[in-house]
Amino acid sequence: MKYVRLEINDHIGILTIDRQEALNALNSQVLSELDQVLDQVAVDDQIYVLILTGAGRSFVAGADIGEMKNFSSIDGKRFGIHGGAVFLKLENMAKPVIAAVNGFALGGGCELSMACDIRLASDKARFGQPEVGLGITPGFAGTQRLPRIVGVSKAMELILTAKTIKADEAKAIGLVSEVYPAEELMSKAIELAEAICANAQIAVQESKRCIRMGMQTDITTGSAFEAEAFGVCCGTEDKNEGMGAFLAKRTEKNFKNR
């Protein structure tokens, strides 16, 4: 991998996009490498939680304008389908994904962060969908995820004005969960990942699946899906361990993820 690297430490995967000469902009190669690494993470049973971040002063500054400049309509659609599929793979991964947004998250970078389950931001982070100022629309589902996260009115405002917002405003509108000083961001992301890792992973993954499913369907269908997930968890050894520890007033739990 030239632009994407994966480190694994105590059930936490840290995936870093490192194309600093272009502020980690997403070109076709970065998307392909990201796609491959996500496949690796998905099948690695030692990884419980993934943290996604960028190297240097940028998370991802956007899609690569240099590559896109000469796109035809067919090229643009093909690029959008490629990036959109990678982002859906990230969103639909069974394992929780935390975006540690360390700097610029513009265009494709904002869209990448929105495909993650939880977003934490550095106080130096900046968010925006500047595409209409370049004569294009968001291409990696920004028009779909942003209104689902912040509401239609705010999404319209951000996308149609192409403005950039700071991390504190991103938190105020619900785009990110927390904002930390830059030097604390990764330690806070790891702390959050560790808290997730401490729980029963079948239950964690089923809970994520229920939330993702519920956001795309009506409450009746979502509730039925949740009942199935609850039933699955009730048949696990981890349910017996977790409830046994609670009843015995035992703080230590020995989950086996089965």
Sequence ranges of the domains in the chain: 4-197, 201-247
Tens digits of residue pLDDT in 54-69 = 999 999 999 899 999 9
**Is the pTM value of this prediction over 0.85?**
yes
Q: Mean pLDDT throughout 8-23?
A: 96
Tens digits of residue pLDDT in 196-242 = 999 999 999 999 999 999 999 999 999 999 999 999 999 999 999 99
131 is catalytic: yes
Tens digits of residue pLDDT in 147-186 = 999 999 999 999 999 999 999 999 999 999 999 999 999 9
> CB–CB of 233/201 below 8 Å?
no
> CB–CB of 108/84 below 8 Å?
no
Share of the chain above pLDDT 70, in %: 100
Distance CA 191, CA 168 (A): 21
Q: Which of 33, 111, 206, 226 is catalytic?
A: 111
Q: How confident is the model at residue 1 (pLDDT cuts 50, 70, 90)?
A: confident
Per CATH, which fold does 4-197 belong to?
Answer: 2-enoyl-CoA Hydratase; Chain A, domain 1 (3.90.226)
DSSP 205-235: HHHHHHHHHHTTS-HHHHHHHHHHHHHHHHT
Given the structure tokens 């239609």, which residue do they identify? 152
Tens digits of residue pLDDT in 112-135 = 999 999 999 999 999 999 999 999
Q: Mean pLDDT throughout 65-93?
A: 95
User: Given phi > 0 = left and psi -120 to 50 = alpha, else beta, which region is 56?
Assistant: left
Q: Which of 21, 67, 131, 237 is catalytic?
A: 131
Per CATH, which fold does 201-247 belong to?
Answer: Lyase 2-enoyl-coa Hydratase; Chain  A, domain 2 (1.10.12)
pLDDT above 90: residue 136:
yes
Domains 4-197 and 201-247 in one fold: no
pLDDT above 90: residue 48:
yes
